[in-house]
Amino acid sequence: MDFSLGISEIVACVVLISSSVIGNTLLIYCTRRCISEHLRTSFMFIFSLAYVHLINSLVVDVLKIVYASGVGLDSAGCKTFTFTTASTSTLAIWFTLYIAWLYCFKLCRIVHPPVEATSTNHRKFHLVLVFVLWVAALGVCSPLLIYTGRTGLLKKENETCQQFSRLIYAECKTEYKNYHTEIFYGKIFLVAIDLLPLLVMLPVGFRIIYLLWEHKKATYGGIWIGDDAAETEVLRACKLVLLLIFLIISFWTSYFVLFYCLKNFKSYCFAPPILTVLSSGYSAVSPYLLILINYKVQVKMRCFFCKGEKKPVSLATVSPVDVSPYA
């Protein structure tokens, strides 16, 4: 493969890897510093999502750089590339959906407070659920390790730019044993496990918008009162979750349409970098939004970049409570 033809894809991968590694490493570091006694439920899924993004960047994008540099992938490399791409994409969708549902539930309790206090100690259940999601995603994508291999296409000297740009997808090709396996597993099941959670995200997002509108219209008996720190954090987190939902649905839908629906798109020179941005863009952008979800994480981030301050910031004294206009 001509190295000049892969420069654009290499540049895109390097930028995405740098953004993802820096953002997710900071997210994991600052979130861990906020853990005092118990691991919060939201932190479990934030950790999991950050690790999924790191795996995607350090495996999938690095293999793309290797291939774009002119080094061919063997059968093991193709299996690793295809399996990691599918499993990390599925896990990112599942964990994002659960984070969205979790903050939608928290917002619902703020707008419609329950009559009786309910137990909130479900950490063991959520920890088991995180483990189950990891195992389920790896299990449903494991058949790709069997069916994926290197096609061994010969590269002729007179191949055009269009032919070179699509070889990474043509060389690592998934070939099923029979027609029924290809239809039910390759084209229905693998798409459904990603598409159904994305469709569920839409009503969750609309529910969050409706609850935010209800909270804004609340009058509290005609008297203005400020929100406490916990309530303000949930409101801000829900707004960021809406942006996460928009990003992951946009990236996945655009990638699916270009890769699976437009058959001739992969034959163009600009196809590899565009598909790379769409497949790994969420891993590079989402950690910076997740950092803003929790207020204590933001404080730790400021302390991380401002170590020279004489007076340390206290998490107990800092509170984003609004000031009453009647004060």
Closest by CA position to 279, among listed 88, 100, 134: 88
- Residue 143: CB atoms within 10 Å: 18
pLDDT of residue 180: 87
* Sequence letter at residue 282: Y
User: How far apart, in Å, are the Cα atoms of 281 and each of 155, 193, 318?
Assistant: 30, 20, 33
pLDDT of residue 153: 45
Report how far residue 167's alpha carbon sits from residue 151's, in angstroms, rounded to the nearest whole number: 10
pLDDT of residue 114: 76
User: How far apart, in Å, are the Cα atoms of 73 and each of 65, 162, 169?
Assistant: 11, 19, 11
46 contacts 27 by C-beta, under 8 angstroms: yes
Report how far residue 229's alpha carbon sits from residue 245's, in angstroms, rounded to the nearest whole number: 24
* Sequence letter at residue 52: V
Domains and CATH numbers, the chain: 3-115+123-305 (1.20.1070.10)
Mind giving me the DSSP string for 93-141?
A: HHHHHHHHHHHHHHHHHHHS--SS------HHHHHHHHHHHHHHHHHHH
Alpha-helical (H) ranges within the chain are 7-33, 41-55, 62-68, 75-111, 123-141, 143-147, 161-165, 167-171, 179-181, 190-217, 229-256, 271-291, 295-305
Exposed e or buried b per residue across 155-165, where buried means at least 16 C-beta atoms within 10 angstroms of its C-beta: eeeeeeeeebb
User: How far apart, in Å, are the Cα atoms of 319 and each of 106, 114, 233, 291?
Assistant: 19, 25, 10, 17
Q: Based on C-alpha coordinates, what's the Rg of the chain?
A: 23
Tokens for 232, please give them: 């303000």
pLDDT of residue 268: 76
pLDDT tens for the 327 residues of the chain, in order? 445 557 888 899 999 999 999 999 988 887 777 665 455 777 788 889 999 999 999 999 999 888 888 777 788 888 999 999 999 999 999 999 999 999 999 999 888 887 765 555 677 788 889 999 999 999 999 999 888 876 654 344 334 444 444 456 667 778 888 888 889 998 899 999 999 999 999 999 999 999 999 888 765 544 444 556 778 888 889 999 999 999 999 999 999 998 888 777 777 777 888 889 999 999 999 999 998 887 666 665 566 566 544 444 444 444 444 443 333
Q: Is 150 helix (H, G, I), strand (E, B) or coil?
A: strand
